[in-house]
Structure 1
Amino acid sequence: MELRQLEYFVAVAEEANFTRAAERVHISQSGVSAQIRALEHELGMPLIDRAARRAALTAAGSAALPHARAALAAADAVRKAVDEVAGVTRGALAVGMVSGCTVTPFFDALAAFHRAHPGVALRLFEDDSARLLAQVRSGRADLALVGLPDGVPGDLGGLAVTAERLVAAVPEDHPLARRQGTTLAELLSHPLVCMPPGTGIRAVLDRACAEQGLHPEITLEAAAPPAVADLARLGLGVGVLSESMVRPPLTAVPITDATGPAVLALVWSRAPNPALDRLVRELCRAFGKRQAHSGEDGEEE
């Protein structure tokens, strides 16, 4: 029996719905269902009646619920007691993010951390990825959400959140919109709209062009992906973005020979810091990922 199984069970019991419970604990609905079935198998009794439209408790589920809540409360009390000794409940953390960031799990994790540890002051600021990396390395920032042309740097703690290919973002009436893909050479025959140097997407584009001896001429630059998309939508140039950044009415056309992915990652200082460790765990939970490159002790969640 695991604490996360009890957490998912309590979430389903209180939400009376597997979908809402999954959103609450930040994992997939199938993941919640599988963990509760594992718990039911271990206990030898069904806890949730799945036949009704609402996820209702069985008699065994009703009997188990207060004890599950008590177990979670006890575990939380243990964490808080240790955190108090370790100094997690006070202090300050400087957290950076790429300009124009709209990554919901990132904000959810910051909010959850603030609720759990109101004594830790969070300072949130925006900058480009290159400067954010430099600030984490220098200690001026504790953690940052950055775009990278490669994986997480080995000298920092880190967690890759997404890795996506570059695409050309064009309106539906653009000649490229009818193509299944385009090459860098073809792309460079059009005016380009891209993010500035220092951003992960620009680094991927510049590297891919350099490998082929190409020299991109950027007509317009914008620091935030939505601004690049708007400029492309207005016909001022072909936008260069990662795949998930392109929304209708724009069409995403794969750049077939720009194979290096644009990586969105969390990076953090390896210096011992109990408050930062707790924030990293909250972020890993929000993104539904196990902690990687965690620090000197190599511990994973």
Structure 2
Amino acid sequence: MEASMERRQLEYFLAVAEHESATAAAAQLHVAQPTISVALRSLEKEFGGQLFERTSIGLALTAAGLALLEPARQVLRDFAVAQESVRDVLGLAAGHLDIVAVPAVAAGWLLEALVGFRRAYPQVGVRVYPETDDNAIAAEVRSGRYNLGLTVSSPVTGQLTSQQVGTQRLNALLPPGSSDASEPIGVDELAAMSLVTMHPSLSTSRRWLETQLNQRGTSPNIRIELGSTEGIMPLVTAGAGYALWWTPMMGSDIGECVLRPILPSLERPIIMSHRSGALSPATEAFLKIVGTDAANTTSHVTK
């Protein structure tokens, strides 16, 4: 069997694993559904076991399928690195850069970094994916699903090279017209105010605030709890309450809302990670741009 066919089979396998449906995978890849089914049967024959099983909601990975998931992603990422490296030497298209990031970092530090990167390398396509879990980001980067990961804690997953590229500070985002703009506000004062926030499993800032207030014998006055960040700004702008807001963030994002530093202060690192070993030209180009901006940061390698 030709190597290109084996690569295509792995692409089909990963698409079905993601969508839990051969039909949905075929639609995404713009191929006929029987093509997907034939490729999966061929893979199962080659590996000697079933990769998927039918459930009431679709196709689920078997133990053998789960074992194949990460190696399949790594094979496709390694192939992409090789392909882009050759094209770079030949002066052809420079490929894509896939980045997974904590939403607050993606909306702040990363946007500013991408401006410089796109200015220097306009031919490179960039795709950014949100993820709130630092451990999930590290695992996905290690598996080869993404070129780069941006977290707010150092990864414990092996085979990653990590570098601190910046810091973020926690602030209180208050409705338009609030007084004392830019003046610090204490957590005791925040305890009496209505808070718009995300579920505790999705928000490190909320968990920090709850710990601070619990030590003082009180708790946040949570009035609206969300499952994502999209609704926070409109609610604060409408006067529904305040929110916890990490900076740096693109200045125009807060509109007419008022930003005040919180006391005691909380800062967290911005950590950029990538797989150790060969990198795609697009990844190396981004690291070069970031390295210029992060000349005074400390690098470390997790083996």
Report if aligned partners of 1:171, 1:177 keep a CA contact under 8 Å in 2.
no
Name the stretch that deviates more: 160-169 or 206-215.
206-215
* Mapping of residues 47-196 of structure 1, within 5 Å: 84=89, 93-99=97-103, 101=107, 103-111=110-118, 114-115=121-122, 123-130=127-134, 131-146=136-151, 148=152, 150=153, 152-153=154-155, 156-174=160-178, 177=180, 180-196=183-199
Paired with 1:125 and 1:178, the residues of 2 have a C-alpha distance of 33
Paired with 1:234 and 1:153, the residues of 2 have a C-alpha distance of 38
Q: Paired residues, what number?
A: 205
**Residue type matched to 1:181 in 2?**
P
> What is the aligned-residue RMSD (CA, Å)?
4.2
Report if aligned partners of 1:172, 1:250 keep a CA contact under 8 Å in 2.
yes
Shift of 1:250: 2.0
Shift of 1:235: 0.7
Report if aligned partners of 1:170, 1:177 keep a CA contact under 8 Å in 2.
no
1:179–1:186 CA distance, 2 compared to 1 (3 A): farther
Paired with 1:109 and 1:196, the residues of 2 have a C-alpha distance of 34
1:167–1:140 CA distance, 2 compared to 1 (3 A): same
1:296–1:179 CA distance, 2 compared to 1 (3 A): closer
1:123–1:163 CA distance, 2 compared to 1 (3 A): closer
Paired with 2:268 and 2:244, the residues of 1 have a C-alpha distance of 11
Q: For residue 280 of structure 1, what is the aligned residue in structure 2?
A: 287
Q: Tell whether 2:266 aligns with 1:263.
A: no
**SS in structure 1 opposite 2:234?**
helix
Shift of 1:167: 1.5
Report if aligned partners of 2:138, 2:155 keep a CA contact under 8 Å in 1.
no
1:271–1:191 CA distance, 2 compared to 1 (3 A): farther
1:89–1:278 CA distance, 2 compared to 1 (3 A): farther
Pick aligned residue for 2:257 from 241, 247, 250 = 250
TM-score under structure 1 normalisation?
0.51
Gaps spanning 5+ residues in structure 1: where? 1-79
**SS in structure 2 opposite 1:255?**
strand
Report if aligned partners of 1:113, 1:279 keep a CA contact under 8 Å in 2.
no
1:278–1:180 CA distance, 2 compared to 1 (3 A): closer
Report if aligned partners of 2:196, 2:236 keep a CA contact under 8 Å in 1.
yes
